Chains A and B, each alone.
Chain A
Amino acid sequence: MARREKMIRIRELDKNIPKMSVDICNQMLTDLENAKRPVIEAVKCSLDNSNYDPKVGFLTPGDKKIRSELNVSSVQKMARTVFMLNILLNNIKSGAVNTKRELYYISKGFMKSDPFYKPLDFDDQPESDSVIDFICDMLEVYREEMNCFAGDRGGQTYSQHLLVTETLSDGTKANVDLSTLGTTPFQPKNKPQQFQLKKKGKIDFCLVVESEGTANTLVANGITKRHNCIVIGAQGVPSNGVRGWCKTIEDQLKVPMYFYGDLDAYTMQNIYRTLKAGSAASLIRNSDFSAPDVKFLGVLPEDVKKYDLHCYSVGEKDAAEARSLKKARDVLANDPFFKDKKNKDLAAILRWLVKEKKRCEQQAVFSVDPKNPRILEEIIVDKIKKGSYV
């Protein structure tokens, strides 16, 4: 049991989750016995309850709480919460671990086979995911501390200089030398905090690329052979696995980390900001799931000019693009991360995007010299050398 707990531990937790849960449920039951409406409270995970302190480096929760009292609109959510909490507590008790998807199907099994639970049935996985997230926000614990892991995507990692040691559930250790994998990536999956990392020689930088395909192309063209680096493919919006993995690299290896992605509002707000400072939806877990020192390497507005990169205009007519622009304006006005002085250069990029209504893909750099397959690598390395990042 103790070994299992150690395996999934992400931080030193001074909370007794089963006891806290029983106390909450006990209070609810007592309220019902007294014909009083029971209440549950959780941290409000939204932008209006987010604080940003540049010294801390990530978004932290404010004082606002979501308070649900038993009534017509909350009864379903409350019943689902108690139902899922019961499953999670049983998992903690037995030491079982499940992914969010597995929990969705386990719940559906109960709901489909037992008419009593049928009203709780989930239409799709996001419904059950949100119940799990709510429980974590209510207890102010990580999902992993509830023995639940997301089946995370992204994080494909390439390096000639990185050794990863993983402690398995039976106590044995697995050692992975990334230099032996060729162009096959190492993928941290969903428990990156478990890894012990070691440098094999010197590592100059870690490059996180928005597109996994582009990360792979860089590696296939030999970036990891020519430079002492780690290359990671984020695969779009970084999952918890990617966020935790970057945090682990930053903490254990202390190498400069750079992010390279599209020059557009979506990348800036949803991908880069989440990697660097976490997200408003995961306020209580940002401390272990963000890499505050990661720099924005590009594509920068100045690169567009310098390399004459192909851009295209973002139309207000396209619903998705219009939404993205609107969100960029909102973010500039309301997001404490972009409002902070320390990030004024990042906010300036957003402002440029809103004003110019343009976007530039990360792959536009390949067209700078179509005859040179290493052009992206050369420009990236040059930018790092010259300090051309934000």
Chain B
Amino acid sequence: MSRITTSSTAEYFAKNLQQVGFSSPLKAVLTTLKEAVDNSLDACEENGIAPELTVSIQKVGKGSTKSSDLIEIIVEDNGPGLELNDLAKVFGEYLASSKFGRGQCSRGQQGIGISAATTWAQLTNAAGVRVTSKTKKMRKAILADIDVDIKANKGIIKKKETVDWDKPHGLKVEFRIDGRVQLNGDGGLITYLDGTTLVNPHLSLNYKLLDSDWVHVGRVSEEVPKVPPPTLPHPHTMKLGEFMTHAGLYGKITLDKFLKKGFSRISEQTINDMKKHGLKKDYLSRPLTSIKETEYKTIFQAIQETELSNPTTRSVLTVGEEGLAKSIQRLGEIDFFSVNTRKPRICDHKPVVVEVAIARFLNLVDTEEAAQLLRFANRVPLQFDKAACAITKAVESVNWRSYGLTQPKNSMPLGPYVFAVAVTSPFIKFKNASKETIDASDELVEEIRRALMQAGQRLSRHIRAEDRAADLERKIQHIEKFAPILVHGLAEIVSAPKKREKAAEEGLKKILGRDADDAEDKLKEAEGQLKILKAKQRKKLGIGEEAVEEDEDGGDEVSEVVVAKGTKKKTATKKAATKKAVKKTTAKAAAKKVAKTTAKKSARSKK
């Protein structure tokens, strides 16, 4: 019989790095960047600092393995920095985290990601991570090279020195890893940085990717989001084992006190209800230490049987409609868009909030392509395995055709749109440790669907107004095309003399003129309504410079924003938008054209 051995957590992850996002050279670069950026943003937020990040990704040589490059990834922040003692733990030890299981909406949760990045660097380039750190208290910064001691799951500081750094505080990480760089598309670095920018309006970002120029994305909100403190656990979200472990933390207090102090949504009244469901009265006065395991089970069962209020949704954080509205303009030249932040809800006994932003971009002109979907979980972009994700399922299940978009059945809608869907919850159920796919429970998919449908309704107002304009123009052209054929056909059947045909043409022109006038009036009305709507939205969000007109219908709460074009950053890798996607011609011009061309066509001699 073979000997049973145990291995360290680091050993496990070193052998299974694919489980945490290092399954290919391409994903390795993205995951490393993502882990570093997540840590920086979390650290800044916890300390109330508006984050200012600098990212540089360069190809610096050949990788150790076939068909890979040596990629240097540098992420620098203005966060609080780390003390020397913490550096080895954070970058070199697995499951060493300040955030594990505390029930907050932070990006990082378990303390795996950045240690995995160090391990990948170590495995592919024989060197871990180089960290420069400076806290407020330090006069000089610490520069340290850190490796993971894989056997012991400990961080080792291999080299340490103090250096001058002109920043008051901050952290800089440098990885050199085997990888490959993809800029655009679902797994692209630009897609990731765009996504991160979108859901972090308070982020100021400078980045340089490969040979392109430095890109600066300024912040659009000065307000640093405060991550709500965790709330007490809800007993219905626990398993029996977790319940007993939780009890272990409270020592000798009585069960009665433990239930009231250790959980949310338990009161004297609910304890009385529990008694009706089989909770023995004498258990309540006994200290926790004297309760046996079998007794815990009956207590737990009684609690599960009792109806309790849903967990509180106070622990959930949102980006907010205003933040999303402003932030989305940083992604490109936008024609119009719609944002929607739902109220926090309980899905699968967990508080969750869904936010949606849908935008039509002027620089994405190919209307035959599927719209781009940006998925976020706790403000972190999800870029792989989208098919099974709750967000993808929800987007595909909505009938976008009813909002004026083109959509093949049960698929992503088509057109120059970006759909951004953010799910935020202190307890997001991921399908895998690399946190790329949100588990598609029916309740969550339905909640996302509702958010999308609300955003869709708002979006459809723009699309419909446009359609109306285009439709009227189409109609006028329609008459212009068919009327001369009609007259000619009638004249031929009745063998009418030329004089009669001419008189009929004149009469037709009069009729068309009336139609064109009507069409023009209707178009003017539609354009006027849209103008009022846009002005009202600008006023609400303080965007754009045009004078705000009074809203006549008043009281209509709309959250979509239409912005004046040209607020986009300069991105060297993106094509500048030059044309507006939908060109509108006014009905007046069309009407004039009608009269002209009708006369021309009807002048055609009989065959």
Contact = CB atoms under 8 A, between A and B. Distances in A.
B479 A75 contact: yes
Interface in B479-523: 479, 481-494, 496, 500, 503-508, 510-511, 515, 519
B102 interface: no
A116 B481 CA distance: 9
A79 B485 contact: yes
Contacts of A22: 493-494
Interface in A6-40: 21-22, 25-26, 28-29, 31-37
Contacts of A29: 487, 490-491, 494, 496, 500, 504
Given A32-B490, A72-B475, A83 B485 contact: yes
B494 A25 contact: yes
B599 to A, nearest CB: 15
B510 A35 contact: yes
Nearest to B499: A33
B604 A33 contact: no
Nearest to B493: A25
B490 A28 contact: yes
B478 interface: yes
A120 interface: yes
A89 B490 CA distance: 12
A78 B484 CA distance: 11
A86 B493 contact: yes
A32 B507 contact: yes
Given A72-B479, A86-B492, A119 B485 contact: yes
Given A33-B503, A35-B510, A75 B604 contact: no
Q: Say whether chain B's binding surface is mostly helix, strand, loop, or mixed.
A: helix
Give the residue among B489, B492, B504 with the most A Cβ atoms within 10 A. Answer: B489
Given A29-B491, A75-B479, A82 B486 contact: yes
Contacts of B607: 114
Residue with the greatest number of chain A CB neighbours at <10 A, chosen from B481, B482, B483: B482
Contact of B483 (A21, A28, A79): A79
Interface residues of B, number: 33
Interface in B191-242: none
Given A25-B494, A32-B507, A33-B503, A76 B489 contact: no
Given A29-B500, A34-B507, A78 B494 contact: no
B511 A70 contact: yes
Contacts of B492: 86
B493 A119 contact: no
Interface residues of A, number: 31
Nearest to A118: B481
Contact of B478 (A28, A33, A76, A120): A76
A71 interface: yes
Contacts of A25: 490, 493-494
A310 B459 CA distance: 52
B485 A33 contact: no
Interface string B299-323: 0000000000000000000000000
Nearest to B486: A79
A75 to B, nearest CB: 4
Contacts of A76: 478, 482
A117 interface: yes
Contacts of B487: 29, 32
Nearest to B515: A72
A116 B492 CA distance: 15
Interface string A100-111: 000000000000
A85 interface: yes
Given A79-B485, A86-B492, A71 B507 contact: no
Given A29-B500, A72-B515, 6 more contacts: A32-B503, A33-B506, A71-B515, A75-B478, A75-B486, A120-B485
Interface of B: 475-476, 478-479, 481-494, 496, 500, 503-508, 510-511, 515, 519, 601, 604, 607
Interface of A: 21-22, 25-26, 28-29, 31-37, 70-73, 75-76, 78-79, 82-83, 85-86, 89, 114, 116-117, 119-120
5 contacts: A32-B504, A75-B478, A86-B493, A116-B601, A120-B482
- Pairs of residues from A and B, 7 with the lowest C-beta to C-beta distance, nearest first: A82-B489, A32-B504, A35-B507, A119-B481, A72-B475, A35-B510, A79-B486
